[in-house]
């Protein structure tokens, strides 16, 4: 099975490395050239456009920042749709609006191309270790066809429903992640203002009903004064915006997610959007006049 991969950022590049490691032929394309040359030196084949990638592979992936980027690369000039051929399957690892994923799937169906929205969770570490969690929307037959590829890059892959369902699952994922990050910030700032060591509090509570990925993985970095990403705060905000746009479209009220969105908005407005999403506590620290960590 010949794979194409378009979008070689923090996530895309390590995903391609795991595909190469598993023995797949991978044709890559990316706007900026440095990472393309790097992956070529590691065994990838290079193409000059999304169209060229699509024309020569069985399965073509994208991993791009936002909905308009994906729409352009798939449906725009020199896009995947121009390289479409019967039997081609399109897989999107980006996090975008469910409605965009559904629109793209519908357009590709017209030219006999299958589409899976296959959003991922697990961050750069998960991408590097081939331990991503993959949330998929689309048809069962397409899902079954690409399962050998998911095995090379992930630790779990679930077909959640039809087109768009993978992006809805990713939005759901980001509701929980955003809530955990904001709640960790709130509890650490409350502890610090209450004269109690926030890291002792985490040690005390992380084995009980408060247990979560965020408390397991983030406090140690904060204790060391390390607020570098990880997963960038402005991307968390972008994802929470997708959550709330989608919720508005469906007529769902999400007051907790709105509160998390406001915190990330304040963080990005303060110029901290390039920091880790766990650093959202900085907004609460500034308001309370306290600092967590060294």
- In the region spanning residues 240 to 259, those forming contacts with a second copy, defined by CB under 8 A, are 243, 246-247, 250-259
Residues 168-227 that bind a second copy (CB under 8 A): 168-169, 171-173, 175-180, 182-184, 186-191, 193-197, 200-201, 203-205, 207-215
CB-nearer residue toward a second copy: 86 or 251: 251
CB-nearer residue toward a second copy: 10 or 254: 254
The residue from 97, 170, 232, 238 that is catalytic is: 170
Residues 36-95 that bind a second copy (CB under 8 A): none
CB-nearer residue toward a second copy: 46 or 210: 210
CB-nearer residue toward a second copy: 80 or 136: 136
CB-nearer residue toward a second copy: 111 or 205: 205
The span of 26-34, 71-79, 104-112, 167-175 binding a second copy (CB under 8 A) equals: 167-175
Strand arrangement, sheet containing 89-92: 45-46, 25-29, 2-6, 59-62, 89-92, 114-121, 132-137, 154-161
| Residues listed for the chain | 294
Residues 84-113 that bind a second copy (CB under 8 A): 98
Q: Kindly state the smallest distance separating residue 49's Cβ from a second copy, in Å.
A: 32
CA 98 – CA 182 distance, rounded (Å)? 24
Q: Kindly state the smallest distance separating residue 185's Cβ from a second copy, in Å.
A: 8
Q: Kindly state the smallest distance separating residue 46's Cβ from a second copy, in Å.
A: 31
CA 171 – CA 169 distance, rounded (Å)? 5
Three-state SS for 273?
coil
Residues 17-36 that bind a second copy (CB under 8 A): none
Three-state SS for 292?
coil
Query: Which of 256, 9, 262 shows the shortest CA–CA distance to 120?
Result: 9
Site track 110-139 with a second copy (rule: CB under 8 A), x = hit: -----------xxx--x-----xxxxxx--
Q: Kindly state the smallest distance separating residue 193's Cβ from a second copy, in Å.
A: 4
Residue 171 CB contacts under 8 Å (≥ 6 apart), including other chains: 98, 239, 242, 243, 246
Q: Are 57 and 4 in contact (CB under 8 A)?
A: yes
CA 84 – CA 51 distance, rounded (Å)? 8
Following CA atoms 15, 20, 21, 23 in sequence, which dihedral angle do they give, to the nearest 10 degrees? Answer: 130
CA 7 – CA 286 distance, rounded (Å)? 36
Catalytic, 151? Answer: no
Q: Kindly state the smallest distance separating residue 145's Cβ from a second copy, in Å.
A: 19
Q: Kindly state the smallest distance separating residue 166's Cβ from a second copy, in Å.
A: 8
User: Helices 233-250 and 255-269 meet at what angle, rounded to 10?
Assistant: 140
CB-nearer residue toward a second copy: 17 or 97: 97
What are the residue numbers of the active site? 170
């Amino acid at each position: 099975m010949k794979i194409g991969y378009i979008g070689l950022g923090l996530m895309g590049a390590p995903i391609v490395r795991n595909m190469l490691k598993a023995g797949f032929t991978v044709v890559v394309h990316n706007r900026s050239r440095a990472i393309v040359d790097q992956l070529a030196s590691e065994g990838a084949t290079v193409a000059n456009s999304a169209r060229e990638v699509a024309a020569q592979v069985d399965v073509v992936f994208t991993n791009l920042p936002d909905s308009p980027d994906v729409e352009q690369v798939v449906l725009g000039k020199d896009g995947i749709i121009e390289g479409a051929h019967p039997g081609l399957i399109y897989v999107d690892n980006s996090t975008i609006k469910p409605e965009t994923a559904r629109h793209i799937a519908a357009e590709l169906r017209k030219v006999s191309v299958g589409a899976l929205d296959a959003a991922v969770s697990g961050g750069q570490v998960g991408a590097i270790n081939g331990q991503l969690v993959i949330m998929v929307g689309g048809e069962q037959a397409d899902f079954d066809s690409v399962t050998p590829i998911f095995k090379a890059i992930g630790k779990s892959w679930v077909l959640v429903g039809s087109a768009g369902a993978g992006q809805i699952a990713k939005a759901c994922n980001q509701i929980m992640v955003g809530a955990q990050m904001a709640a960790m910030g709130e509890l650490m700032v409350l502890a610090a203002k209450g004269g109690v060591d926030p890291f002792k509090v985490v040690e005390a509570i992380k084995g009980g009903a408060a247990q979560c990925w965020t408390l397991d993985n983030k406090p140690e970095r904060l204790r060391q004064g390390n607020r570098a990403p990880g997963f960038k705060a402005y991307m968390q905000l972008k994802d929470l915006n997708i959550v709330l746009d989608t919720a508005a479209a469906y007529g769902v009220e999400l007051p907790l997610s709105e509160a998390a969105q406001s915190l990330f908005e304040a963080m990005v407005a303060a110029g901290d959007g390039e920091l880790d999403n766990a650093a959202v506590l900085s907004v609460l620290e500034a308001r309370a006049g306290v600092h967590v960590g060294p």
